[in-house]
Amino acid sequence: MVKEKITGLTVTDIRFPTSLGHHGSDAMHTDPDYSAAYVILETDASDGIKGYGLTFTLGRGTEVVVCAIKALSRHVVGRALEDIVNNFRGFYRELSSDGQLRWIGPEKGVVQLATAAVLNAVWDLWAKKEGKPLWKLLVDMTPEQLVSCIDFRYITDALTEEEALEQYMLKNGYPAYTTSCAWLGYPDDQLKKLCTDALKEGWTRFKVKVGADLQDDARRCKLIRDLIGPENKLMLDANQRWEVNEAISWVKELAVFKPIWIEEPTSPDDILGHAAISKALAPLGIGVATGEQCHNRVMFKQFLQAHALQYLQIDSCRLGSVNENLSVLLMAKKYNIPVCPHAGGVGLCELVQHLIIFDYISVSGSLENRMCEYVDHLHEHFKYPVAIQNASYMPPKDPGYSTEMKPESVSQYQFPDGEIWQKLVREGKIEI
Amino acid sequence: MVKEKITGLTVTDIRFPTSLGHHGSDAMHTDPDYSAAYVILETDASDGIKGYGLTFTLGRGTEVVVCAIKALSRHVVGRALEDIVNNFRGFYRELSSDGQLRWIGPEKGVVQLATAAVLNAVWDLWAKKEGKPLWKLLVDMTPEQLVSCIDFRYITDALTEEEALEQYMLKNGYPAYTTSCAWLGYPDDQLKKLCTDALKEGWTRFKVKVGADLQDDARRCKLIRDLIGPENKLMLDANQRWEVNEAISWVKELAVFKPIWIEEPTSPDDILGHAAISKALAPLGIGVATGEQCHNRVMFKQFLQAHALQYLQIDSCRLGSVNENLSVLLMAKKYNIPVCPHAGGVGLCELVQHLIIFDYISVSGSLENRMCEYVDHLHEHFKYPVAIQNASYMPPKDPGYSTEMKPESVSQYQFPDGEIWQKLVREGKIEI
C-alpha cells in the first residue's frame, strides 16, 4: 500500500489592519497589525485532506517569516505523514538543525516562528487524519509515544526522557482571563465600558497594560480595581518596557492595587533579571509571568532553574509547535510552576486551548493558579473558532488543531493584494 | 547647506560553495557554504561615496536575511548620515524596536543579523566620510561620543552610561590564532600538513574542532599537541554539540592535551549550563569560550553576571553592529573578562579586527589571554583584505570598515544567478 504524501506547501501573508483601532497596543508595540504567516500542506490522499498551520506576527516582517517558511519547505514536501510522525523527534531535529539554516537562528526569531507554522500544519494534518481534535490526539497517546515527539537536546540537565514519563497523571472548560478591556491605547471611557460588559459576561480575571507612564498606570489600575472589586483577579503587563531595577520600583508603586502578576517586566532574554525581580516582588505577593517571547525550551529551562518566573506563559506559535511545548509543559510540572498560556493574537487562542486542555488532563491535573489568556478578536476568520462559555474555554470537538482559516478571510486579508488592503490604499488610509 | 542623504539600499545574496571542500565543517554544521547578505548604501554625495555592510551566513537562509534587510530599508533610505550619527542611539533603537518588526525577533536571529548588515554599512559610510579606518574613528571619539552610540536598554543593572565612561584607558599588530588547520571534515594527513605549514608561518595558537566522536577527538588532539609541542596554545571547539553534563565528562577526557578553552560546549542560549560547565572545568585550568551565536547584549550581560564564560567571543555580524559590540566590550572590561573575537566567516576577520584593535587601544589596554580568531579563507574577495604578519593582525589603514567586496566577486558569486553557481549547476555538482 502506498503511503500518502505531502505534495505541496503554500504560505500566505495575511494581515488585519488592527492598528487603525489601537487594538493590541502596548508599551512596546504601539501600532500592531495582527497578522499571520499561514501555511497549507497539500496531500495526495484520496479524501483530499490538508493540514493548516500558522504563526502569529504584528504586520511588517510577516514577509520575512513567509520567506523562512519557504526555506523550510524542502524538509516537508515529498514526505509521508506516517514517516514524519513515526520519528517526530528526528523530524523536529531535522527542521531545527539544518546545517546551513540553523546559523540564522538557531531555534529563535524568524526561523523558530517558521518552524512553528510548518509543524502546526503537520500536527493539524495528523489530528485530522486521526479524526480527533488535537488535544484528544495528545491525551490518547501513550506516554512513550508522546515523549517520542520531544527533542530533549540541551534540556537533559533539567529533564530527562525517563523523568518526563513520570510527569503524567490522568484526570473539564478551562478558566480564561481577558485582555480585551485594557489595551494601552484605549481611552478611560472605552476601558470602563469594556470592563463593565466583561463583568456582566462572567469574567473574573482582568489584565491591564502598563509601563508607559506611572501616573497613567495608577489611574487605570484604580479604575479597574474599583470596577471589579477586591475578589476578582488583576494582572499587569509591561511588555518588556523596563530596566530590571525600574521594574521593581514601578511595580512596588502599583502593589496597592493587588495585582497577582507582573508580566514581561523587562527583556524576554533576561533570565537573571527576571530572577532578581521575582525575588524583590515575592514579599508583596506579586509573581512574575513571562514566556510569550521566550524562544525555545533552553530558555524556559533556565527560567525554571533560576526561579525567574512564577507563571509560565507558553505560546503556540513561537515555540517549535506542539513538540517543543510538550517539553516545556513537562518541565513546568517538574518545577511545580503553573502554565498560563499567552493568547490573543491571530489564532493563538484557537491553537493554545488544545495544549492547555491536554496539560490539565494529562500533566498538571490542577486548575490552581491556572488560566489561559483570551482576547475577543479575529475569531470570525477561523473555521473552528474558540467557544467561550462563562469565562471558560470549552474543549474543541472538531478534528484537527483549529488552525484552519476561512478561505474568504485568507483571500480578503492577504497582504498586500487582498481586497481589504487595496481598499485602505485607495481610501488613502495607508501606504504600502 | 544641504545634508547628504542615503538615497538607496541594495542587498545581494552572495554564496561561496565551500561545502564542496569541507571547509568550515564542524560537529553541527557539516556542509556550510560560506555566504553573506551584502548591503550597499548609495548616497547623493558629490564624491559618490557609498557604504558597504554585510552579515555572515552559511548558505540556505541567506535569502531570508536579504528579505529582512529589505524590511529594514525603510528606516535608512532617505535619511541623512549626519542625522543618524548625531543620534546614533536613537537610530539604533528605531531599527531594533520597530513596533511591528520586533515581534519576529526581538533583537535575535534573522532580524538581528539584518540589523548588523545595515548598521555595518552605516559605520563603513561614516568612517569613509571621515577618511579613517573604523578603528581609528572609534579611537578618536570622545568617551561621551562613543557612549552615545550605545543603547543601554536592558543592561543598566550591569553597566550604566556613567560607569561606561570610566571603562576607558589609552595605550601595536593584534595576536591572532588559526582555525584553518583542523576543521572536522579534514582527514589526518591534511590536518598534519596544514599544522606543519602554520608552525612554519609563525602561528603559536591552534584551534581544533571536536564533539562528534570522542576517540576521534583524542586522536586529533594528540596529533596536534605532538606537532605543536607543549609551549604553544591549543583550543577546542564543540560547536554546541553537547548536553551540559556530557560536555563536562567529554572535556575531562581531553584535558590531558592541555587545551586552554572549550568553545561552545552546549546550546548558545544556555547561560546557566555554561556556568555549570565553567565551574566543573575550572580546576583543570580549562575555561569556557562562547559568543559567536550569542545574539545580543542582554545575553552577554547574563553570561558575565553568571560567571558562565572565561573568554568572550564577540561577532561583528551577529550583534547589532559596532553599537552593540561597544556595549559588550565595556561590560567585559568591567567584569575583567578577555575578549577573543569570533572570525573566519565571510568578512568576519576584515570587520572584527577594527573592534579588537579599538578594544586594545581604548578599553582593555591588555593582550593578556587575548587573541583574535583567523581563518585564511575568502579574503581575496575583499577590496581591503586583512593583513596578517607573524601571526598578528596588522591595523588596517584604508578608510572605512573593510566591508567592501570586489564587484567581480559580487557578480560571480551572487546566488543563484552568478557564474560560479550556474557553472556548478551545469556540471551537475549541485541542484538549486
Per-residue three-class SS string for A94-133? HHHCCCCHHHHCCCCHHHHHHHHHHHHHHHHHHHHHCCCE
Which ipTM score applies to this complex? 0.88
Which residues of chain B make contact with A100, given a CB cutoff of 8 A? 29, 31-33, 57-61
A175: left (phi over 0), alpha (psi -120 to 50) or beta: beta
Same domain, B124 and B23: yes
Q: Is there a contact between B100 and A33 if contact means CB atoms under 8 Å apart?
A: yes
B244 CB neighbours in chain A (<8 A) are 154, 156-157
pLDDT at B312 over 60: yes
A29 Cβ contact partners less than 8 Å away, ≥ 6 residues apart? A58, A239, B99, B100, B102, B103
Secondary structure element (H or E) that encloses residue B189, with its range: helix B188-200
Instruction: Round to whole Å and give the CA distance between B259 and B276.
Output: 18
Of A99, A112, A271, the CB nearest to B302: A271
Q: Are residues B59 and B183 in the same domain?
A: no
Is residue A334 domain-shared with residue A354, that is, in the same domain? yes
Nearest Cα to B14, choosing from B342, B315, B343, B405?
B405
Q: Return the DSSP state at B4.
A: P
The answer to whether position A80 is within a domain reads yes
CB contact under 8 Å between A108 and B295, yes or no, is yes
Q: Do both B255 and B114 map to the same domain?
A: no
Interchain proximity A270–B245, CB inside 8 Å: no
Based on the fold, state whether residues A254 and A227 are members of the same structural domain: yes
Residue numbers in A near B269 (CB within 8 A): 107-108, 154, 295-296, 298-299, 302
Of A31, A243, A245, the CB nearest to B100: A31
Domain shared by B283 and B360, yes or no: yes
- Minimum Cα–Cα distance from B36: chain A residue: A104
How far, in Å, CA of B34 to CA of A115, rounded?
23
A181 and A122 assigned to the same domain: no
The pLDDT score that the predictor gives to residue A184 is 80
Among candidate residues A295, A301, A342, A354, the one labeled active-site is A342
Mark whether A209 is an active-site residue: yes
CB contact under 8 A, A157 and B101: no
Residue B74 within any structural domain of the chain: yes
A29–B57 C-beta distance less than 8 A: no
For A31, the closest of B62, B99, B244 (CB atoms) is B99
Q: For residue B171, name the pLDDT band (cuts at 50, 70, 90).
A: very low
* CATH number of residue A83's parent domain: 3.30.390.10
- Domain count for chain B, please give it: 2
Do B358 and B420 share a domain, yes or no? no
Among candidates A67, A153, A154 on the partner chain, residue whose Cβ is nearest the Cβ of B67: A67
Residue A163: inside a domain: no
Residue B284 burial (CB count, 10 A) = 16
Question: In whole angstroms, what is the distance from residue A35 CA to residue A347 CA?
Answer: 10
| Residue B229: Cβ within 10 Å count | 9
How far is the first Cα of chain A from the last one, in angstroms, to the nearest whole number? 50
Q: B234-269 b/e with 16+ CB inside 10 Å = b?
A: bbbbbbbbbbbebbbebbeebeebebbbbbbbbbbb
Quote the domain boundaries for residue A125. 6-132+408-426
Are A270 and B302 inside 8 Å of each other by CB?
A: yes
Q: Residue A158 falls within a domain, yes or no?
A: no
Per-residue pLDDT of chain A (432 residues; tens, 9 = 90+): 578 999 999 999 999 998 887 777 787 888 889 999 999 999 999 999 999 999 999 999 999 999 999 999 999 999 999 999 999 999 999 999 898 999 999 999 999 999 999 999 999 999 999 999 999 999 889 888 988 999 999 898 888 888 888 766 544 578 889 888 878 888 899 999 999 999 999 999 999 999 999 999 999 999 999 999 999 999 999 999 999 999 999 999 999 999 999 999 999 999 999 999 999 999 999 999 999 999 999 999 999 999 999 999 999 999 999 999 999 999 999 999 999 999 999 999 999 999 999 998 888 888 899 999 999 889 999 999 999 998 999 999 999 999 999 999 999 999 999 999 999 999 998 888
d(CA A42, CA A50): 5
DSSP string computed for A310-366:
SEE---TTTSSHHHHHHHHHHHHHHTT--B-----STTHHHHHHHHHHHIIIIII--
Residue A201: which CATH number? Answer: 3.20.20.120
Do B294 and B320 meet the contact criterion of CB atoms below 8 Å apart? no
**CA distances for A163 relative to A90, A144, A155, B308, angstroms:** 20, 12, 12, 27
State the SS3 of B22-86.
CCCCCCCCCCCCCEEEEEEEEECCCCCCCEEEEEEECCCCHHHHHHHHHHHHHHCCCCEHHHHHH
Catalytic residue among B23, B50, B209, B333: B209
Q: Which of A106-110, A414-418, B156-160, B283-287 is least confident?
A: B156-160
* Together in a domain, B211 and B353: yes
Cβ contact, residue pair A271, B272, below 8 Å:
yes
Residues of B in contact with A60 (CB under 8 A): 71, 98, 100-101
Closest CA relative to residue B203, chosen from B18, B375, B350: B375
* B412 and B385 belong to one structural domain: no
CA distances from B152 to A24, A248, B120 (A): 27, 18, 19
Q: What is the identity of the amino acid at B44?
A: D
Whether B301 and B155 have beta carbons less than 8 Å apart is answered as: yes
To the nearest whole angstrom, how far is the Cα of A107 from the nearest Cα of chain B? 8
Query: Does B260 reside within a domain?
Result: yes
Cell of A368: 490552581
Do B200 and B99 lie in a common domain? Answer: no
Q: Count how many pairs of residues, chain A against chain B, have C-beta atoms within 8 Å.
A: 199
Total count of residues recorded for chain B: 432
Give the up-direction half-sphere exposure of residue A17: CA atoms within 13 A in the CB hemisphere.
17
Q: Tell me if B250 is assigned to some domain.
A: yes
Which runs of E-coded beta strand occur in B152-260? 174-182, 205-209, 233-237
Residue A346 lies in a domain: yes
C-alpha distances out from residue A345 to A213, A259, A358, B210, Å: 25, 23, 21, 43
Residue A399's SS3 state is: coil
CA distance B227 to chain A (A): 31
**For chain B, percent of residues with pLDDT exceeding 70:** 98
Is B148 a domain residue?
no
Q: Under an 8 A CB cutoff, do B108 and A106 touch?
A: no
Query: What angle (nearest 5°) sits at the alpha carbon of residue B219, between those of residues B214 and B224?
Result: 125
List pLDDT tens digits, range B12-28: 999 999 888 777 778 78
For B66, name the nearest residue in chain A, comparing CA atoms only: A64
Is A342 one of the annotated active-site residues of the chain? yes
B100:A59 CB<8 A: yes
- A95 to chain B, closest Cα gap in Å: 13
One-letter amino acid at B249 equals: S
Separation between Cα atoms, residue B325 and residue B352, nearest integer Å: 10
In which residue are the cell numbers 545634508 written? B3
Q: Identify all chain A residues contacting B99, using CB atoms and an 8 Å cutoff.
A: 28-32, 58
Q: Is the peptide bond before A133 cis (omega within 30 degrees of 0)?
A: no
Shared-domain flag, residues A385 and A413:
no
